[in-house]
Structure 1
Amino acid sequence: MLAISLLLLGLILLLLTGLPIFAGLSLFGGLLLLSEPGGLAIVSDIVFAKTGMYVLVAIPLFAYMAHVMIRGRIVDDLYSTAYTLTRHLPGGVGIATIAACMIFSAISGSSVATALTIGAVAIPQMIRYGYDPKIAYGLVAAGGTLGILIPPSGPMILYGVATDTSISGLFMAGLLPGFLLAVIFCVYCMFRQRGTKREQRASAGEMFVAIRKSGWAITLPGLVLGGMYAGVFTATEAAAIGAILALMIAGLAYRSIGLRDIWACAIDAARTSAMLFMILASAAVFSYALTKMMVPQQIVDMVTHLNMGPLGFILAMMVMLFILGMFLESIAIILITSPVILPVMTHLGIDPIWYGVLLVINLEIAMITPPVGMNLFTIKAVTHSPMGPIIRGSFPFVLLMMLGLGLVVAFPQIAVWLPNSMMNTP
């Protein structure tokens, strides 16, 4: 066990030096393979086998859909529509912000993009309506984290590939926990802002106009996710359909994108995908090295010896993921831990889809936890505020997300009911 701990600690320290994730994983894995006869000779086979999987086509397609929707300014009307529908409620501006974050999350699949895009519009509006700036910062930072839980989600795809888990199942599993967290945020916002001013309820005509204005931005995620839930197409096919529909909406309905923009979106999507593929390839080398050194089997033996049941193991993992999240990026956490714990989960009979949702919620918490919470830096870039108020404003939402995490741990059906019903549908 000491050797395993030293191995993982060495890798974490290497990544903390600022070395890119793909370089750290591949170098560390390569060094471990040097101790195995002929270990390096099989590296090329491992890389091509892992990156040549058909399901990975979904990554560039979902990335392309997101870039088209953003560059085509299709999301510009989301916030105003959400505000029109919720402005009469206590904390209505905050609720509108969470609603806009949810819809944009289903378009972009990125926490940072969600916080950046929605924050630029919503934070000044919330402050104008009497919100404490710290709460406005925290609300957008936390709302942005929904980008990796509500599908499509890049981290879910990577986890699915790393553990051979159904990506469609993971996508469906993230929906209800995502809505749960959004409702918790909204309830907190209504309670916290119950004394602030609010506007008159929008008329039916105003609501209709607002919904029609952002109809395409709202409809696209519903079509993509609804098709997967109904079994009409797989996650990869859904990504292709989403990209085509995004192009049609931006080009024909909004007329906000030209040939040059289409090419620019393709370049941006290719850059994002290339980065993820390099990380995935290096993680495959690292995973193979751990397997050759019998590390997963040693951990299974240790868990068996300690008599640790499924719940005890899950709770221990939640603590470890929270600590890792304070120092490492989400992708690094997924690709370092998944190969190690997969045999343990199999041994204990833990549903990998349920664990995948718990993992992603922990990654969400990491996005607003110092010292390397990416959404904290995103809000700082948007507002030019000192980091102190942003961290203090985000702290209540860390606690709220821990509450949501605890509910999903206590009631696994929140995560697994939807994918189970989808998979059991004839």
Structure 2
Amino acid sequence: MILWSILIGLFAAIVVGMPISFGLAAISLFIFFYADYSLTPIVSEAVNGLDSFPLLAIPLFILVGEVMSEGGIAKRLVRLASALVGFVAGGLGQIAVLTSMFFGGISGSAVADASAVGSMMIDPMKRHHYPAPLAAAIIVAASVVGIIIPPSIPMILYGVVTNTSISQLFMAGIVPGIIITLGLACTTFVQSKKIGKAQPFDLLELVKALRGAFLALLLPVIIVGGILSGVFTPTESAAFALVYALAVSMFVYRSLSAKRFFQLCIATGKLTGVVMLLLAFANVLAWLLTANMIPQQLVETLGALSDNKFVILGILTVFLLVVGFFMDLTPAMVILAPLMTPIVVKLGIDPVYFGVLMSFVLGIGLITPPVGTVLYVGCGVGKVGMEELVNSLLPFYLTLLGLLALFLAFPGLVLWYR
């Protein structure tokens, strides 16, 4: 009864356009009154859901991405990507894909990735005869890399709500992130090889671009290297990265003012408030589900369907793909990860592997209609219609689904570090 109440309530919230966090609050109150529970756990569990040091990494990484975009770091990464792959046929498309990987190694957000890279790359692509829908589609598809290459905000959320090592999740995301980048680069090559002219390879320009982007490239090295070496926790690395990005943007590149930084802090605070409210009420629901042994019941139900862990993993993957059509990544992650992780752990599936897989699947949902957040960013930045953009994305959807099948078939690609 409780699980059905939650599912029906979430569906109703989506249909009427209610913010998911408010929907979770309404569902929680309904269940507490209906089941005649004391209301005390609503407050205590909501507070407990936010009482987590790793959660501080989320606003810090969001702000790092904003500072990087505003402070000239992103432009230098674009120049470096241009020097590295601009000589390939369809070079501008390849530059966009590689820049997305660089940017994702700092921001950890697909939305920030699409917005920043799209604002810099779509107009030049149009001037070089890329159709507007294709230019936007390349940016939108490549943004998925931003939540797989560490640092990754979805992986931080997964680690917090399932008590999984965030450092191991970041480590596991490196190879899949590179593979996804290569897959999207190949698709971009096929789609755009006859468009425009590739620039000749220029070793001198590559050296200049490397010199100009050196300080920018140190940022992902600091973030990822510090975490993986054990020098920093994810939160500490985010704080250090923010100080570094501010120092470079304000005092080296001199392209970010104190006034603009204050405005970025306000915007980051608003976005963080939305995420934290969602996490608070998601934790209340998690308490309700645990108290009524819903995860154990789901394990028994799925176990009755099959005792093959790969079949169950396939069922969960298809379910997450469907969820991605109708729910944004953040609420889907904080609601479903605590439910699904006990199931896969019971079957002997590594929670780190499932965390990366879940992030990727829900990341695909970000670029699928009708509620894909990154789709709307692509439409706005690229000035194209939704139908045109989705049609241009079809080859990229096939590529991403093929890569998903690859990670399902070969878990070692994710757990490569063990």
| TM-score, with structure 2 as normaliser | 0.94
Alpha-carbon distance in structure 2 between the residues aligned to 1:93 and 1:289: 50
Matches within 5 A, 1:23-102: 23-102=22-101
Alpha-carbon distance in structure 2 between the residues aligned to 1:313 and 1:244: 44
Alignment match, 2:325: 326
Aligned AA (2:27): F
Tell me if 1:352 matches 2:346: no
Alpha-carbon distance in structure 2 between the residues aligned to 1:279 and 1:243: 25
Aligned AA (2:348): G
Contact 2:295 2:340 in 1 (8 A): yes
Tell me the CA shift for residue 285 of structure 1. Answer: 0.6
Alignment match, 1:343: 342
Deviations, residues 215-258 of structure 1 (Å, cap 9, x unaligned):
22222112211111222221111111111111111122111223
SS of 1:152's partner is: coil
Contact 1:16 1:328 in 2 (8 A): no
Alignment match, 1:159: 158
Contact 1:110 1:154 in 2 (8 A): yes
**Structure 1 residues 267, 124: closer, same or farther in 2, change over 3 A?**
closer
Alpha-carbon distance in structure 2 between the residues aligned to 1:15 and 1:290: 21
Alignment match, 1:20: 19
Matches within 5 A, 1:234-273: 234-273=233-272
Tell me the CA shift for residue 287 of structure 1. Answer: 1.0
Tell me the CA shift for residue 263 of structure 1. Answer: 2.4
Alpha-carbon distance in structure 2 between the residues aligned to 1:6 and 1:36: 12
Alignment match, 1:397: 396
Alignment match, 1:423: none
Alpha-carbon distance in structure 2 between the residues aligned to 1:62 and 1:312: 36
Aligned AA (2:293): M
Deviations, residues 185-210 of structure 1 (Å, cap 9, x unaligned):
11122233344453453332111111
**Structure 1 residues 311, 5: closer, same or farther in 2, change over 3 A?**
farther
Matches within 5 A, 1:136-151: 136-151=135-150
Tell me if 1:170 matches 2:169: yes
**Which range moves more in the overlay, 380-389 or 256-265?**
256-265
Contact 2:109 2:153 in 1 (8 A): yes
Alpha-carbon distance in structure 2 between the residues aligned to 1:394 and 1:42: 45
Alpha-carbon distance in structure 2 between the residues aligned to 1:30 and 1:73: 47
Tell me the CA shift for residue 80 of structure 1. Answer: 2.5
Aligned AA (2:108): G
Alpha-carbon distance in structure 1 between the residues aligned to 2:205 and 2:228: 32
SS of 1:416's partner is: coil
Contact 2:73 2:249 in 1 (8 A): yes
SS of 2:255's partner is: coil
Alpha-carbon distance in structure 1 between the residues aligned to 2:56 and 2:401: 33
SS of 1:214's partner is: helix
Alpha-carbon distance in structure 2 between the residues aligned to 1:156 and 1:33: 30
Contact 1:26 1:282 in 2 (8 A): yes
**Which range moves more in the overlay, 9-18 or 153-162?**
9-18
User: Structure 1 vs Structure 2: percent identity of aligned residues?
Assistant: 33
Contact 2:144 2:363 in 1 (8 A): yes
**Structure 1 residues 193, 163: closer, same or farther in 2, change over 3 A?**
same
Deviations, residues 85-126 of structure 1 (Å, cap 9, x unaligned):
222212221111101111111222221221122122322333
Alignment match, 2:370: 371
| TM-score, with structure 1 as normaliser | 0.92
**Which range moves more in the overlay, 400-409 or 107-116?**
107-116
Contact 1:90 1:193 in 2 (8 A): yes
**Structure 1 residues 385, 148: closer, same or farther in 2, change over 3 A?**
same
Matches within 5 A, 1:182-331: 182-331=181-330
Deviations, residues 41-61 of structure 1 (Å, cap 9, x unaligned):
222221222211122121222
Contact 2:5 2:27 in 1 (8 A): no
Alpha-carbon distance in structure 2 between the residues aligned to 1:262 and 1:323: 39
Tell me if 1:118 matches 2:84: no
Contact 1:109 1:150 in 2 (8 A): yes
Aligned AA (1:45): S
Alpha-carbon distance in structure 2 between the residues aligned to 1:6 and 1:44: 20
Tell me the CA shift for residue 327 of structure 1. Answer: 0.9
Q: How many residues were matched structurally? A: 418
Alpha-carbon distance in structure 2 between the residues aligned to 1:188 and 1:242: 33
Alignment match, 1:424: none
Deviations, residues 319-368 of structure 1 (Å, cap 9, x unaligned):
11111111111112112212222321221121111111111111121122
Deviations, residues 243-290 of structure 1 (Å, cap 9, x unaligned):
111111112211122322332232222222222111110100111112
SS of 1:326's partner is: helix
Alignment match, 2:382: 383
Aligned AA (2:60): L
Alpha-carbon distance in structure 1 between the residues aligned to 2:178 and 2:142: 11
Tell me the CA shift for residue 3 of structure 1. Answer: 6.8
**Structure 1 residues 128, 68: closer, same or farther in 2, change over 3 A?**
closer
Alpha-carbon distance in structure 2 between the residues aligned to 1:306 and 1:206: 59
**Which range moves more in the overlay, 158-167 or 41-50?**
41-50
**Structure 1 residues 29, 117: closer, same or farther in 2, change over 3 A?**
same
Tell me the CA shift for residue 313 of structure 1. Answer: 1.1
SS of 1:34's partner is: helix
Alpha-carbon distance in structure 2 between the residues aligned to 1:353 and 1:235: 16
Aligned AA (1:254): Y
Tell me the CA shift for residue 6 of structure 1. Answer: 5.6
SS of 1:388's partner is: helix
SS of 1:165's partner is: coil
Alpha-carbon distance in structure 2 between the residues aligned to 1:351 and 1:30: 34
Contact 2:249 2:256 in 1 (8 A): yes
The runs of 4+ residues in structure 1 deviating greater than 6 Å are: none
Aligned alpha-carbon RMSD (Å): 1.9
